[in-house]
C-alpha cells in the first residue's frame, strides 16, 4: 500500500509531498523487544523489563520473510521519500513508482491520499490517472493520528527497511521537527492497514512496551 501526503506547490519553501510504501509481512521467527532494546543501550520502563516474548521492533532485514505457521504478520515500511512537487510532478512520480513496482512483480492494494487536504477536483483527477487510489478523510488532529499509530511501534509490531532514516528522524522529532510530511503519510497508512487488515484478522489492540532513554 502506498500512502501519500500531498502538497501541490513545487517551491522549495513549501511543504513536501511524501510517499510511504507499507506492507503486511509474514513473520517466521520470534523476536524479543526487551532484549533488542537492551542491546541498543536503551533503559526500559520497569513494566517492560520483565516482559515475556513478543513480536519485536527490529530492522526488517533481521527477520526473514516467508509463510508463518501461525499466520502472524507485522507492518513493514518498505520505502519512504519526499519531494517538492506540483500536481504534474505528483502524477509523474506516482505513475513511475507504480510502473517500477509492477516491473518488480508488486502491485499495491491501494494508493491513499488525504481527501480534505486536496479537494474533490484534485481527487477526481488523480482517480482517473492512478489505479487503486482511495481518498481518506482524516479523523482528529495530526497528533491524535500519531498517537493512534504509536502502540504498534511501541509493541514492536512495525519494522523499517534500510533507507527510511528520514522518516525515523521525523518520528523521533514529532511534533517539534521542522517537517512532518513523512509522519503524516506513515500514520495514514498504518491506521488504514490496521483497520482494514489487522483487526479483520482478529488481531487485538497492540500492547505497548514502554521505553525511555
pLDDT computed for residue 34 by the predictor: 54
Which CATH architecture describes the domain 2-212?
2-Layer Sandwich (3.30)
Looking at residue 29, the DSSP 8-state letter turns out to be: S
Q: How many CB atoms lie within 10 A of CB 128?
A: 9
pLDDT computed for residue 26 by the predictor: 76
Q: Give the Å distances, CA to CA, from 2 to 42, 84, 113, 203.
A: 32, 18, 9, 22
Per-position pLDDT tens, the chain of length 213: 999 999 876 566 678 999 999 998 876 554 445 556 667 666 555 544 444 443 333 344 443 333 333 346 789 999 999 999 999 999 999 999 999 999 999 889 899 998 877 777 888 899 999 999 999 988 889 899 999 888 888 888 888 999 999 999 999 999 888 899 999 999 999 999 988 876 655 455 444 433 333
pLDDT computed for residue 53 by the predictor: 42
pLDDT computed for residue 11 by the predictor: 62
Parse the chain into domains and list their residue ranges.
Answer: 2-212
Sheet strands (E) in the chain: 2-5, 17-26, 43-44, 73-83, 111-114, 133-136, 158-160, 211-212
Q: What is the pTM of this model?
A: 0.72
Amino acid at each position: 500500500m502506498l500512502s501519500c501526503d500531498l502538497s501541490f506547490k513545487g517551491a522549495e519553501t513549501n511543504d513536501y509531498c511524501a510517499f510511504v510504501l507499507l506492507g503486511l509481512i509474514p513473520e517466521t521467527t520470534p523476536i524479543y523487544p526487551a532484549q533488542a532494546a537492551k542491546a541498543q543501550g536503551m533503559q526500559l520502563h520497569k513494566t517492560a523489563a520483565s516482559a515475556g516474548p513478543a513480536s519485536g521492533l527490529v530492522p526488517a532485514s533481521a527477520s526473514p520473510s516467508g509463510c508463518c505457521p501461525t499466520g502472524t504478520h507485522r507492518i513493514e515500511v518498505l520505502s519512504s521519500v519526499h519531494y517538492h512537487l506540483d500536481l504534474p510532478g505528483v502524477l509523474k512520480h506516482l505513475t513511475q513508482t507504480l510502473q517500477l513496482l509492477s516491473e518488480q512483480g508488486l502491485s499495491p492494494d491501494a494508493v491513499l491520499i488525504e481527501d480534505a487536504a486536496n479537494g474533490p477536483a484534485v481527487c477526481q483527477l488523480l482517480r482517473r490517472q492512478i489505479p487503486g487510489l482511495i481518498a481518506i478523510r482524516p479523523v482528529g488532529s495530526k497528533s491524535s493520528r500519531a498517537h493512534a499509530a504509536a502502540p504498534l511501534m511501541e509493541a514492536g509490531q512495525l519494522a523499517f527497511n534500510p533507507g527510511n532514516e528520514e522518516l525515523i528522524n521525523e518520528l523521533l522529532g514529532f511534533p517539534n521537527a521542522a517537517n512532518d510530511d513523512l509522519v503524516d503519510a506513515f500514520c495514514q497508512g498504518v491506521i488504514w492497514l490496521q483497520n482494514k487488515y489487522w483487526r479483520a484478522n482478529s488481531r487485538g489492540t497492540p500492547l505497548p512496551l514502554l521505553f525511555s532513554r
